Every structure is written in structure tokens, then in C-alpha cells.
């Protein structure tokens, strides 16, 4: 059995970046930045994108000033010709660097071990955001029981065989909001185990309360159009927050 640190990085490396890639990246990006009726000025505004996702490629294709943090180094054999910050989110606060828009999709706020960690993550965001913060979350409160344990498998077609990712949530019996994310990829005849990650749910009212405590002036959830990560069949709600 092969082991990798990050499933998304592995799948991105297998992706055949064809002529439709930039169009797909722009569509997924617009599903976030145009949520809640927002219309960022692509040519003038600055963007920070957090996490291993496709959004920096979409923004870069549109001609935006984009910086990525903890992002994907490559998509297939394509690199994003955007700015890259190799440090931590707290570096921007320490250096008094701000962005017009901060984007943290793919349930970024759930990648935390404790509630205090989540509050600290949001506190940093509130200090570096000028115009708005976009993130995405699932509706864990109204999720069907079977969906709480497994996500629908996703299949990536590649030249070296199909890559199927299976995602399991191993819930903590002592903490009903915490789980260990266990992901596996079946690539051709090979089984690949991704490094387990400790995660924690974030509910809409909880996120609203945490950000309100940090001085948020607006909290909206996009109800019409949802966002779907590149390697997933599960949709997520886009949340738009202003501080």
C-alpha cells in the first residue's frame, strides 16, 4: 500500500489539463466570488486564496492579482503564475498585509482540532480582509445519517487508469463535532492511503456567532448556487462575510 500526505495534491498531479481546464477553473471560481450578489473588481482588487484548490488558477486566468497560501504547486503539469506565500496565515497579520478578498473554500474552517483553533483561524482572517471573506461549508445539521460517515466516491479519469477517492469520517465518540478524515484512493490496481486529518464541524449559526464576535458587519449564505470542489461530487454552501 502506498501512502501520501495529501489526496488532493496526488489527484491534481494526475489531472490531464486540457483545453477546458481554464474554463472549468473560472466557472468554479465565479461560483464563489459572485455568491451573495458580490461583484469583486477583478482588475483592481487583490485576492488571497487559502488551501489546495482550483480557485487561484481561475482568478489568475481572469487576470486578477492573486496570492495563494498552502495551495497546489501544480495542476497536472500546469503551474499557477500567481504569487505564492510559503509561510503561515499569521505572517500577513504580523506584516500588516491585507487583501481585498480572502477565499478559503473546501470547508477550510473544518480543518481544526478544537473550537479555539477555529476561532483563531477566523480571527486572523478578520485582520487581513478589507472587503470580504468567502468560505464554504456543508450543512452537517441536516445531513442524512449515511452521508455523515461516507461521501459519494469520486472518479478521476486518467491516462494511467481511473483514480477513485473514497472519503470516510470516523466520528469521535467523546466529541460529537469532531472526526478523523480517512481517505483512500484506488488508482488502477494500486491502493493509496492518504494521511488521516483531524477535523471539526462548523454550523452556520456557529460560524455567524464566531465572526460576529470578531466584528463582522455582514453574514450571508448563498442559497441559489452552490460550490463543488474539483475532486468531489458533494456540493457546499458559499458563505460571504464582511468585517
Q: What's residue 16's pLDDT?
A: 83
b/e map 159-169, b = 16+ CB within 10 Å: eeeebebbbeb
pLDDT, one tens digit per residue, over 104-114 is: 999 999 999 99
Q: Which domains does the chain have, with CATH numbers?
A: 15-140+201-242 (3.40.50.150)
User: Residue 206: is its pLDDT beyond 90?
Assistant: yes
181 has which bridge partners? 169, 197
Cβ pair 198, 180 in contact under 8 A: yes
C-alpha cell, 195? 494521511
Q: What's residue 144's pLDDT?
A: 87
The rounded mean pLDDT for the chain is: 95
DSSP tag of 217: S
Whether this prediction's pTM lies above 0.85 is answered by yes
pLDDT, one tens digit per residue, over 207-233 is: 999 999 999 999 999 999 999 999 999
User: CA 78, 80, 85 angle in degrees (round to 5)?
Assistant: 135
User: How much of the chain exceeds pLDDT 70, in percent?
Assistant: 100
User: Residue 18: is its pLDDT beyond 80?
Assistant: no
User: CA 134, 82, 21 angle in degrees (round to 5)?
Assistant: 80
Amino acid at each position: 500500500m502506498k501512502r501520501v500526505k495529501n489526496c488532493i495534491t496526488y489527484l491534481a498531479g494526475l489531472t490531464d489539463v486540457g483545453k477546458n481546464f481554464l474554463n472549468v477553473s473560472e466557472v468554479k471560481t465565479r461560483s464563489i466570488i459572485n455568491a451573495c450578489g458580490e461583484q469583486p473588481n477583478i482588475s483592481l482588487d487583490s485576492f488571497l486564496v487559502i488551501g489546495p484548490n482550483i480557485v487561484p488558477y481561475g482568478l489568475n486566468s481572469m487576470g486578477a492579482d492573486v496570492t495563494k497560501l498552502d495551495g497546489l504547486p501544480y495542476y497536472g503539469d500546469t503551474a499557477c503564475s500567481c504569487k505564492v506565500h510559503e509561510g503561515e496565515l499569521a505572517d500577513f497579520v504580523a506584516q500588516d498585509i491585507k487583501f481585498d478578498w480572502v477565499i478559503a473554500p473546501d470547508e477550510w474552517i473544518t480543518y481544526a482540532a478544537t473550537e479555539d483553533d477555529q476561532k483563531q483561524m477566523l480571527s486572523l482572517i478578520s485582520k487581513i480582509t478589507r472587503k470580504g471573506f468567502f468560505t464554504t461549508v456543508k450543512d452537517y445539521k441536516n445531513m442524512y445519517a449515511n452521508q455523515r460517515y461516507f461521501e459519494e466516491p469520486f472518479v478521476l479519469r486518467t491516462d494511467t487508469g481511473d483514480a477513485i477517492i473514497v472519503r470516510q469520517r470516523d466520528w469521535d465518540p467523546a466529541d460529537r463535532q469532531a472526526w478523523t478524515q480517512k481517505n483512500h484512493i484506488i488508482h488502477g490496481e494500486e491502493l493509496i492511503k492518504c494521511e488521516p486529518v483531524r477535523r471539526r464541524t462548523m454550523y452556520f449559526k456557529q460560524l455567524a456567532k464566531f465572526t460576529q464576535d470578531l466584528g463582522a458587519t455582514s453574514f450571508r449564505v448563498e442559497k441559489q448556487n452552490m460550490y463543488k470542489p474539483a475532486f468531489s461530487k458533494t456540493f457546499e454552501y458559499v458563505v460571504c462575510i464582511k468585517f
